[in-house]
Amino acid sequence: MAENIISLQGVTKEFETRHGRVVALKDINLDIKPGDAYGIIGLSGAGKSTLVRTINLLEHPTEGKVMFDGNLLTGLSGRELNLHRRKISMIFQQFNLLMQRDAIGNICFPLEIAGVPKSEARAKAEELLKVVDLEDRAHSYPSQLSGGQKQRVAIARALASDPDVILCDEATSALDPKTTRSILKLLKKINEERGITLVVITHEMDVIRQICTKVAVIENGEIVERGDVGEVFARPKSKAAKKLFFPDGRNRETTVGRTSTRNRVRLVFDESNAYKPIISNMITELGAPVNFFYADLDVLGNRQKGQMVICLSEDKAMAEKQKEYLRRERVEVTELTDDIDEFIQEEG
């Protein structure tokens, strides 16, 4: 297997509309390694769905190259391209099941197209129903299944071709939070136990936190930031990433009195210190209070990360002592600029 299972090189995608030419993707360069759980996140209209559809060439790029497992896909004939596509499965927000087929029939469908004997296809489908915990719903039709059950059938169908990659295009957006967690847990198990590369397209930060190890942030058709999820969480650099990692509409902010916005800092705690009373110990030791603006505890994959926004002492020397104390305790400290404060106000 190649070093990168997926590689996009200088990919640009343009569409002709009645209002003129639209650039959906601009000079995308992206490498995804075998076994990655790679998230691509962006707001509506950012270009993320177009991006994922270029990976299996459901959308052909206007410019650039698409590589899969070391093979150049752009320029292949239909038959050759279809052979490679069998190793790239896809699951969708709306499940895309065949309504006239029961669960086992839906899972058998791609195997039948590939010419697998009927008895062999059925045996494999029964095995995959066990993988997705739906063996008791083998003969249920999509109209008889809940949203989560439909997505489990879709996942089993995606596994039927023994793919190297599963593309997940907003796969949990139509599901309630509890069902979303169960589907993400299943996908994570598939990634870890079967070594199947996941590419997760989403606009939801919680999805990235729960399942992905790496993330790329897309905005206006361009990748504006990428890296390990924990690293981007701790030190977001782009405006888009800062918006995603700061308050996102939930009421998670606590403000104490009317206080200056000077000396406002963002703190990031890892699992080694997230539960320690670091702030209260600092106040006791240094004898200077702080004001709290925001606090949250998240789980990124299997790791816990906490973040907090506080206002340090207005005395410059004391504020420096507070920052030194926090860094000694292995807390990431980032000074917030006025524009980050604006992000918080816009998103909170």
| Shared domain check, 59 and 28 | yes
One domain, residues 263 and 340: yes
End-to-end CA separation in angstroms for the chain: 45
Residue 314 confidence class, pLDDT cut points 50, 70, 90: confident
Task: Report the DSSP pairing between strands 20-32 and 214-219.
Answer: unpaired
Mark whether 129 and 251 lie in a shared domain. no
In a domain, 241, yes or no: no
Look at residue 340 and tell me if it is in a domain. Answer: yes
- Give a yes or no: residue 222 inside a domain: yes
Is 254 found in the same domain as 176?
Answer: no
Question: Are residues 262 and 201 both part of a single domain?
Answer: no
**Of 172, 169, 190, nearest to 181 (Cα)?**
172
Q: Which of 9, 60, 58, 62 is nearest to 32 (CA)?
A: 9
- Domain-ending residue, one of 193, 216, 236: 236
pLDDT in tens, 64-104: 999 999 999 998 888 888 888 889 999 988 888 999 999 99
Are residue 93 and residue 205 in the same domain, yes or no?
yes
Which residue, among 144, 219, 158, 215, has the nearest Cα to 186 in the 3D structure? 158
> Do 228 and 264 fall into the same domain?
no
250/226 same-domain check: no
29 domain-assigned: yes
Verify that 252 and 275 share a domain, yes or no: yes
For residue 1, tell me if it sits in a domain. Answer: no
What pLDDT score was predicted for residue 301?
60
> What is the reported pLDDT for 107?
96
209 and 267 part of one domain: no
- Establish if 293 belongs to a structural domain: yes
148 and 177 co-located in one domain: yes
Number of domains in the chain: 2
In a shared domain, residues 158 and 43:
yes
- Please say whether the dihedral angle defined by the alpha carbons of residues 312, 314, 318 and 323, taken in this order, is positive or negative: positive
Tokens found for residue 113: 């197209």
CA distance 159 to 164: 9
Residue 322 included in any domain: yes
Amino acid at 215: V
Of 190, 211, 236, the one marking the end of a domain is 236
CATH number of the domain bearing residue 36: 3.40.50.300
The DSSP code sequence of 88-99 is EEEEETT----T
Q: Is the pLDDT assigned to residue 254 strictly greater than 90?
A: no
Say if 40 falls within a structural domain. yes
User: Which helix or strand (DSSP H or E) is residue 242 part of?
Assistant: helix 239-245
Q: Of 236, 257, 289, which closes a domain?
A: 236
Question: DSSP state, 34?
Answer: T
pLDDT band at 299 (very low <50, low <70, confident <90, very high): low
Task: Please give the single-letter amino acid code of residue 162.
Answer: D
- CA 5 to centroid of chain Cα atoms: 18
Q: pTM surpassing 0.95?
A: no
Give the domain CATH number at 261.
3.30.70.260
Give tens-digit pLDDT for 269-297.
877 777 788 888 888 888 888 888 777 76
> By residue range, what is the domain housing residue 140?
6-236
Average pLDDT over residues 239-249: 65
